[in-house]
Amino acid sequence: MAESSVGQGVKVDAEAQRRFRNALAMFATGVAVITAPREEGVPVGITVASFNSVSLDPPLVLFSVDRRCLSLGDLRTARCYAVNVLAEAQQDISNRFARANSGKWEGIDFGDGEGDSHVLLPDALATFECEPYAQHDGGDHVIFIGRVVRHQARQDGRPLIFFGGNYRALEDSPTAA
Ligand SMILES: Cc1cc2nc3c(=O)[nH]c(=O)nc-3n(C[C@H](O)[C@H](O)[C@H](O)COP(=O)(O)O)c2cc1C
Protein backbone atom coordinates (compact mmCIF):
# COMPACT_ATOMS: atom_id res chain seq x y z
CA MET A 1 0.00 0.00 0.00
CA ALA A 2 1.42 3.43 -0.96
CA GLU A 3 1.93 5.70 2.04
CA SER A 4 1.64 9.47 2.00
CA SER A 5 1.52 12.21 4.57
CA VAL A 6 -0.13 15.57 4.14
CA GLY A 7 1.74 18.08 6.30
CA GLN A 8 -0.36 20.43 8.41
CA GLY A 9 0.27 24.06 7.61
CA VAL A 10 2.70 23.11 4.86
CA LYS A 11 1.84 24.07 1.31
CA VAL A 12 0.72 20.85 -0.30
CA ASP A 13 2.40 20.35 -3.67
CA ALA A 14 0.46 19.16 -6.69
CA GLU A 15 1.76 15.58 -6.53
CA ALA A 16 0.93 15.22 -2.82
CA GLN A 17 -2.53 16.66 -3.48
CA ARG A 18 -3.15 14.22 -6.31
CA ARG A 19 -2.20 11.29 -4.11
CA PHE A 20 -4.43 12.60 -1.32
CA ARG A 21 -7.36 12.84 -3.75
CA ASN A 22 -6.68 9.33 -5.03
CA ALA A 23 -6.67 7.96 -1.50
CA LEU A 24 -9.92 9.76 -0.68
CA ALA A 25 -11.45 8.35 -3.87
CA MET A 26 -11.08 4.85 -2.35
CA PHE A 27 -14.05 5.69 -0.14
CA ALA A 28 -17.08 4.68 -2.23
CA THR A 29 -20.03 7.03 -1.88
CA GLY A 30 -23.42 7.64 -3.35
CA VAL A 31 -24.13 10.76 -5.38
CA ALA A 32 -26.64 13.46 -4.45
CA VAL A 33 -27.80 16.78 -5.83
CA ILE A 34 -28.29 19.59 -3.32
CA THR A 35 -31.16 21.84 -4.37
CA ALA A 36 -32.29 25.12 -2.85
CA PRO A 37 -34.73 27.84 -3.86
CA ARG A 38 -33.35 31.24 -4.79
CA GLU A 39 -35.16 34.49 -4.12
CA GLU A 40 -35.52 34.82 -7.90
CA GLY A 41 -34.71 32.71 -10.91
CA VAL A 42 -33.83 29.06 -11.23
CA PRO A 43 -33.01 27.14 -8.04
CA VAL A 44 -29.54 26.18 -6.85
CA GLY A 45 -28.51 22.67 -7.89
CA ILE A 46 -25.11 21.10 -7.26
CA THR A 47 -23.87 17.53 -7.44
CA VAL A 48 -22.09 16.26 -4.31
CA ALA A 49 -20.49 13.07 -3.13
CA SER A 50 -19.85 14.50 0.34
CA PHE A 51 -23.33 13.80 1.72
CA ASN A 52 -23.42 11.86 4.97
CA SER A 53 -25.56 11.24 8.01
CA VAL A 54 -24.65 13.00 11.26
CA SER A 55 -27.27 12.52 13.97
CA LEU A 56 -30.57 10.70 14.53
CA ASP A 57 -31.78 12.94 17.33
CA PRO A 58 -31.94 15.65 16.23
CA PRO A 59 -32.02 14.36 12.63
CA LEU A 60 -28.96 15.92 11.01
CA VAL A 61 -27.11 15.38 7.73
CA LEU A 62 -24.07 17.05 6.20
CA PHE A 63 -22.39 17.84 2.91
CA SER A 64 -19.50 20.10 1.97
CA VAL A 65 -19.28 22.65 -0.82
CA ASP A 66 -16.14 23.92 -2.52
CA ARG A 67 -15.60 27.63 -1.91
CA ARG A 68 -15.15 28.05 -5.68
CA CYS A 69 -18.68 26.85 -6.47
CA LEU A 70 -20.84 29.57 -7.98
CA SER A 71 -23.82 28.36 -5.94
CA LEU A 72 -22.08 28.76 -2.59
CA GLY A 73 -23.35 32.28 -1.78
CA ASP A 74 -26.98 31.39 -2.47
CA LEU A 75 -26.68 28.11 -0.58
CA ARG A 76 -25.25 29.88 2.45
CA THR A 77 -28.26 32.20 2.65
CA ALA A 78 -30.95 29.73 1.55
CA ARG A 79 -33.86 29.36 3.98
CA CYS A 80 -34.11 25.67 3.14
CA TYR A 81 -32.41 23.07 0.98
CA ALA A 82 -32.87 19.45 -0.05
CA VAL A 83 -30.60 16.47 -0.61
CA ASN A 84 -31.69 14.35 -3.59
CA VAL A 85 -29.99 10.95 -3.57
CA LEU A 86 -29.50 9.83 -7.16
CA ALA A 87 -30.50 6.49 -8.61
CA GLU A 88 -28.33 4.42 -10.92
CA ALA A 89 -30.19 5.73 -13.98
CA GLN A 90 -29.50 9.37 -13.06
CA GLN A 91 -25.86 9.68 -14.12
CA ASP A 92 -26.88 12.34 -16.66
CA ILE A 93 -28.48 14.34 -13.84
CA SER A 94 -25.26 14.07 -11.83
CA ASN A 95 -23.20 15.35 -14.77
CA ARG A 96 -25.66 18.12 -15.52
CA PHE A 97 -25.54 19.52 -11.95
CA ALA A 98 -21.76 19.18 -11.83
CA ARG A 99 -21.29 21.75 -14.62
CA ALA A 100 -21.33 25.41 -13.64
CA ASN A 101 -23.18 27.88 -15.88
CA SER A 102 -24.81 25.15 -17.90
CA GLY A 103 -28.60 25.48 -17.95
CA LYS A 104 -28.85 22.89 -15.21
CA TRP A 105 -32.66 23.02 -14.98
CA GLU A 106 -33.48 22.85 -18.67
CA GLY A 107 -36.51 20.57 -19.11
CA ILE A 108 -36.85 19.84 -15.37
CA ASP A 109 -40.00 20.91 -13.52
CA PHE A 110 -38.84 22.60 -10.32
CA GLY A 111 -42.27 23.81 -9.20
CA ASP A 112 -42.35 27.13 -7.38
CA GLY A 113 -38.62 27.01 -6.64
CA GLU A 114 -38.52 30.28 -4.73
CA GLY A 115 -38.23 31.43 -1.12
CA ASP A 116 -39.29 28.77 1.38
CA SER A 117 -40.37 25.90 -0.85
CA HIS A 118 -38.13 22.85 -1.06
CA VAL A 119 -37.07 21.83 -4.56
CA LEU A 120 -37.12 18.09 -5.22
CA LEU A 121 -35.75 16.25 -8.24
CA PRO A 122 -38.08 13.70 -9.85
CA ASP A 123 -37.10 10.03 -9.58
CA ALA A 124 -34.53 10.46 -6.79
CA LEU A 125 -33.88 7.37 -4.69
CA ALA A 126 -34.39 9.34 -1.48
CA THR A 127 -34.92 12.98 -0.58
CA PHE A 128 -34.11 14.83 2.63
CA GLU A 129 -35.71 18.25 3.04
CA CYS A 130 -33.65 20.33 5.45
CA GLU A 131 -33.63 23.57 7.30
CA PRO A 132 -30.18 25.08 7.85
CA TYR A 133 -28.71 23.97 11.19
CA ALA A 134 -25.03 25.00 11.03
CA GLN A 135 -22.22 25.93 8.68
CA HIS A 136 -18.59 25.24 9.50
CA ASP A 137 -15.25 26.14 8.03
CA GLY A 138 -13.92 23.16 6.13
CA GLY A 139 -10.72 24.57 4.66
CA ASP A 140 -11.33 25.10 0.96
CA HIS A 141 -14.88 23.80 1.51
CA VAL A 142 -17.80 24.94 3.67
CA ILE A 143 -19.49 22.19 5.69
CA PHE A 144 -23.28 22.45 5.78
CA ILE A 145 -25.26 20.67 8.46
CA GLY A 146 -28.98 20.45 7.80
CA ARG A 147 -31.80 19.47 10.09
CA VAL A 148 -34.10 17.07 8.27
CA VAL A 149 -37.74 18.16 8.40
CA ARG A 150 -39.11 15.61 5.91
CA HIS A 151 -37.72 12.62 4.05
CA GLN A 152 -38.87 10.04 1.52
CA ALA A 153 -37.27 6.92 0.08
CA ARG A 154 -38.06 4.53 -2.75
CA GLN A 155 -37.76 0.90 -1.75
CA ASP A 156 -37.20 -0.42 -5.25
CA GLY A 157 -34.28 1.63 -6.51
CA ARG A 158 -30.58 1.11 -7.00
CA PRO A 159 -28.05 3.83 -6.15
CA LEU A 160 -25.60 5.67 -8.35
CA ILE A 161 -22.17 5.04 -6.85
CA PHE A 162 -18.98 7.07 -7.14
CA PHE A 163 -15.66 5.30 -6.56
CA GLY A 164 -12.13 5.92 -7.81
CA GLY A 165 -13.29 8.96 -9.77
CA ASN A 166 -15.84 6.95 -11.79
CA TYR A 167 -19.50 6.13 -11.59
CA ARG A 168 -20.32 2.56 -10.62
CA ALA A 169 -23.37 0.39 -10.22
CA LEU A 170 -24.13 -2.08 -7.46
CA GLU A 171 -23.61 -5.60 -8.71
CA ASP A 172 -23.53 -7.72 -5.59
CA SER A 173 -26.44 -8.95 -3.61
CA PRO A 174 -26.39 -7.84 0.02
CA THR A 175 -23.98 -9.50 2.48
CA ALA A 176 -24.69 -9.68 6.21
CA ALA A 177 -23.63 -6.53 8.08
C1 LIG B 1 -19.73 12.74 -8.60
C2 LIG B 1 -19.42 14.19 -8.21
C3 LIG B 1 -19.34 14.54 -6.89
C4 LIG B 1 -19.08 15.87 -6.51
N5 LIG B 1 -19.03 16.19 -5.17
C6 LIG B 1 -18.86 17.47 -4.80
C7 LIG B 1 -18.90 17.83 -3.41
O8 LIG B 1 -19.10 17.01 -2.53
N9 LIG B 1 -18.71 19.14 -3.10
C10 LIG B 1 -18.50 20.09 -4.06
O11 LIG B 1 -18.33 21.26 -3.72
N12 LIG B 1 -18.46 19.78 -5.38
C13 LIG B 1 -18.64 18.50 -5.77
N14 LIG B 1 -18.66 18.18 -7.09
C15 LIG B 1 -18.41 19.24 -8.08
C16 LIG B 1 -19.61 20.18 -8.27
O17 LIG B 1 -20.78 19.46 -8.61
C18 LIG B 1 -19.30 21.21 -9.40
O19 LIG B 1 -18.20 22.00 -8.99
C20 LIG B 1 -20.46 22.11 -9.80
O21 LIG B 1 -20.12 22.70 -11.05
C22 LIG B 1 -20.75 23.22 -8.88
O23 LIG B 1 -21.75 24.02 -9.49
P24 LIG B 1 -21.76 25.60 -9.36
O25 LIG B 1 -20.36 26.11 -9.60
O26 LIG B 1 -22.77 26.03 -10.37
O27 LIG B 1 -22.19 25.92 -7.95
C28 LIG B 1 -18.89 16.86 -7.50
C29 LIG B 1 -19.00 16.49 -8.86
C30 LIG B 1 -19.25 15.17 -9.22
C31 LIG B 1 -19.36 14.80 -10.68
Cα(165)–Cα(136) distance, rounded to whole angstroms? 26
For the segment 85-105, the average pLDDT, to the nearest whole number, is: 96
Q: Which of 66, 83, 92, 144 to mutate to test the pocket of ligand 1 (most atoms within 8 A of CB)?
A: 66
102 or 51: which carries more pLDDT confidence?
51
CATH of domain 30-102+113-163: 2.30.110.10
Q: Where are the beta strands (DSSP E) in the chain?
A: 29-30, 32-36, 44-48, 52-55, 60-66, 81-85, 126-138, 141-153, 160-163, 166-169
Average pLDDT across the chain, whole number: 92
Q: What is the pLDDT of residue 111?
A: 80
Q: Which ligand 1 atom is the nearest neighbour of the CA of 63?
A: 8
Residues 98, 34 contacting (CB under 8 angstroms): no
Q: State pLDDT tens for residues 98-143.
A: 999 889 999 998 887 666 789 999 999 999 999 999 999 999 999 9
Residues 55, 89 contacting (CB under 8 angstroms): no
Ranges of each domain in the chain:
30-102+113-163
User: Which amino acids bring their CB within 6 angstroms of ligand 1?
Assistant: 31, 46-50, 64-66, 69-71, 94, 98-100, 162
For the segment 78-98, the average pLDDT, to the nearest whole number, is: 97
Q: Which ligand 1 atom is the nearest neighbour of the CA of 98?
A: 17
Q: What is the pLDDT of residue 39?
A: 86
Q: What is the pTM of this model?
A: 0.93
Distance (Å) from CA 151 to ligand 1 centroid: 23
Q: At 15, is the pLDDT very low, low, confident or very high (cuts 50, 70, 90)?
A: very high
Nearest CA to ligand 1 atom 10: 65
